[in-house]
Amino acid sequence: MPQQNINQDSFDDDVPEELPPPAAAAASTDALDALLDEIDGNLQVNAEQFVRSFVQKGGQ
Amino acid sequence: MRIVGLETEYGITDPADPRANPILLSSRLVNACREWAGEKTTRWDYGGEDPLMDQRGVRRPRTHVIPELLTDAHEFNAAANSVTLRRRRGSWEDPAHLNAVLTNGARFYVDHAHPEYSGPEVSNARDAVIWDRAGDAIALAAAGEYARIEDAQVALYKNNVDGKGASYGTHENFLIRRDVDFDVLAARLTPHLVTRQIYTGAGRVGLGVRGEEPGFQISQRADYMETEVGLETTLRRPIVNSRDEPHADRSRWRRLHIIIGDATTFDVATFMKLGTTSLVLSAIEADDQRLAALTLAEPVGDVQRVSRDLTLREHLNLADGSVATALEIQRAVLEIARDYVADAVDAQVVGRWESLLERLARDVFETAREIEWVAKLQLLGRMRGKYGTDGREAPWDDPRIVASDIVWSQLGMGLAARLDAAGQVERIATDEEVAAAIEHAPQDTRARVRGAVVANLPDIVDAAGWSTIVLDREANHGHLEVVHLDEPASASHPLIDELLRG
């Protein structure tokens, strides 16, 4: 559980520059591309029909 | 500690037959869930429900409500003792209202035209995540059993919209003290419910109830909220639902039923949804006056305004004439909530809350491993680039993008599940904890009693509800015995404990 000790000032709109960018955002690029490649074939074939046929009844 | 619970209505389809009757599919899925559970399940006790009681102190006449609200059966059982007798009736079960009460204390059943998992009562937001994920796993196990029995597939979606106008819900329940004035509660909680979506939203492709306008918004549910406070859940949906059905000692407790939230597949979203709201309720129970300063001038319109503002910069009008962004309101709520931290989970909620708001203000994409709408926006944004032509991104209403929004939430093989499997989603609950919660109930609420009875005494259980367990055993009086569990935080009952000891 990351519990950064952030003081009140960092809530201001102009954030101090010394805060490091998270490594996670950059690291995920390859994973996202791999996922997009993985689903590409299915989407090309039947996306339109799939969207049209996804019909639910209203619930709560 | 606050008793909370989470209910999820899943979207359901037969991939080979899109026109299959969803009530029938749901009923067969619940039947498959019972098969999966084997001996260790029981049916639902409809004996004590009172769905027409309004938190605002009046009971709606039966002739003045839509039929869906009439979920109570032929008996209203106002019990005085912890065990009462009930006359035997026929044991016919309506296949359109099939139920399975499970060993983990949950209820899996048909609600309207959807299968629903109502998780067991838990004592904190972290446990809520664990038993919510267990519900997804149980739904998937039921789908596996369905495939075996029916020789057909069923696909389940943890979302809230079909893009054709239908919406179905994910409901949060919070136990709060009866002496809290409901109108004050509704007024003070509303600013939080309107603005918390910036970290609890699941993201949605399409604007408007039918997605008639192309675009992306933060919340699945925002376009379906039509009023501030009300009894209904299927039409004129309110930000704060006023159904007064405590499923507990009415003199001590209210159960606050929140229907505005999105179904969430990300642990952090689920954790924050329950954890932050629970802390705000503590502030309301303490009559903290600071919340009143956050009252919004147009809360219903603001639900959509916040949902459609991906920059998080739009100003909302407050009742006192000032303006504030959703982020600013959340920072103010956080500062108040900080004073009500009572345990380690609360402290985790506040730490995460602070961190998320700070990163959202800087660059929303820094939260892509935790906030579901941001992760969805990131993935689908990349997809728009990939499918774009002539140097332009594919439009939001490109069928491949719209389809991906639906597939995002599919249980088992959806895009969110695949991101999780690829290590791209931050987890709160471990796989081991979730696996254990499929079978076992929380040990610190009355769900322990319900779960233990279903697991160990299935032969003498006739039915179970949130606050009742109905026993059918040899006795001189010849009647059913109704064991009342009116204290949700009480994890034992003398008669049940005696029976469990054998």
CB B10 within 8 A of CB B411: yes
Closest CA to B265 of B141, B436, B424: B424
pLDDT at A6 over 90: no
Strands B11-13 and B204-207: unpaired
Locate the chain A residue with the closest alpha carbon to B164. A55
Of the partner residues A33, A38, A58, the one whose CB lies closest to the CB of residue B166: A58
d(CA B478, CA B457): 19
A4·B354 Cβ contact <8 A: yes
Q: Does A7 touch chain B (CB under 8 A)?
A: no
Our CA-based measurement puts residue A23 at a distance from the nearest CA of chain B, in whole angstroms, of 9
Between the alpha carbon of residue B139 and those of residues A57, B287, B302, the distances in Å are 19, 40, 34
Q: Return the residue in B24, B223, B355, B400 with the most chain A beta carbons within 10 A, the one to mutate for interface testing.
A: B400
CB contacts of B114 in chain A (<8 Å) are: 56-57, 59
* Chain A residues touching B355 at Cβ < 8 A: 2-4, 6
Per-position pLDDT tens, chain B of length 502: 899 999 999 999 999 999 999 999 999 999 999 999 999 999 999 875 555 566 766 666 555 555 445 444 333 334 435 888 888 876 677 777 889 999 999 999 999 899 999 999 999 999 999 999 999 999 999 999 999 999 999 999 999 999 999 999 999 999 999 999 999 999 999 999 999 999 999 999 999 999 999 999 999 999 999 999 888 777 789 998 888 889 999 999 999 999 999 999 999 999 999 999 999 999 999 999 999 999 999 999 999 999 999 999 999 999 999 999 999 999 999 999 999 999 999 999 999 999 999 999 999 999 999 999 999 999 999 999 999 999 999 999 999 999 999 999 999 999 999 999 999 999 999 999 999 999 999 999 999 999 999 999 999 999 999 999 999 999 888 889 999 999 999 999 999 999 999 8
CA separation (Å) from B294 to B218, B331, B353?
21, 11, 18
Chain A: closest CA distance from residue B383 (Å): 7
The reported pTM is 0.90
DSSP string, B123-169: SSHHHHHHHHHHHHHHHHHHHHHHHHHHSS--EEE--SB-SSS-B--
Residue (of B262, B198, B260, B208) closest to B396 by Cα position: B208
Q: Which DSSP string do the residues of B259-272 spell out, in sequence order?
A: --PPP--SHHHHHH
Chain A nearest C-alpha distance from B311 (Å) = 13
Q: Round to whole Å and give the CA distance between B265 and B272.
A: 12
Burial class (CB in 10 A: 0-12, 13-18, 19+), B152: middle
- In sequence order, which residues have a C-beta less than 8 Å from that of residue B259 and are 6 or more positions away? A60, B169, B171, B221, B233, B237, B238, B241
β-bridge partners, B175: B255
The residues with which B410 forms a beta bridge, in sequence order, are B157
Catalytic residue among B14, B45, B72, B111: B111
Beta-carbon contacts of B382 under 8 Å, excluding residues fewer than 6 positions away, are: A32, A33, A36
Q: CB B388: neighbour CB atoms within 10 A?
A: 13
Say whether A56 and B403 touch across the interface (CB within 8 A).
Answer: no
Question: What residue in A sits closest to B378 (Cα-Cα)?
Answer: A32
| Chain B neighbors of A9, CB-CB under 8 A | none
Beta-ladder partners of B470: B463, B482
Is residue A54 within 8 A of residue B394, CB to CB? The reply is no
* In chain A, where the domains are located: 20-52
DSSP B122: B
Comparing CA positions, the residue from B79, B274, B76 lying closest to residue B175 is: B274
DSSP string spanning A1-60?
Answer: -------GGGGSSS--TTSPPPHHHHHHHHHHHHHHHHHHHHHHHHHHHHHHH-------
Give contacts of B18 with chain A, Cβ < 8 Å.
Answer: 53-55
- Which residue type is seen at B198? I
Per the annotation, the verdict on B111 as an active-site residue is: yes
Among candidate residues A48, A34, A50, A57, the one with its CA nearest the CA of residue B23: A57
Q: For residue B20, how far is the Cα from the chain centroid?
A: 26
Is B234 in Cβ contact with A28 (below 8 Å)?
no
Amino acid at B349: V
Complex-level ipTM: 0.87
H or E segment to which residue B418 belongs: helix B415-421
8 Å CB contact between B411 and B156: yes
Name the H helices within B171-286.
182-195, 197-200, 267-285
Shortest distance between the Cα of B178 and any Cα of chain A, in A, equals 25
Distances in Å between the Cα of B79 and the Cα atoms of B75, B332, B464, B497 are 12, 43, 15, 20
Residue B125 burial (CB < 10 Å; 0-12/13-18/19+)?
buried
How many other β-carbons are positioned within 10 Å of the β-carbon of residue B420? 17
Q: In this structure, are residues A25 and B366 in contact, taking their beta carbons and an 8 Å threshold?
A: yes
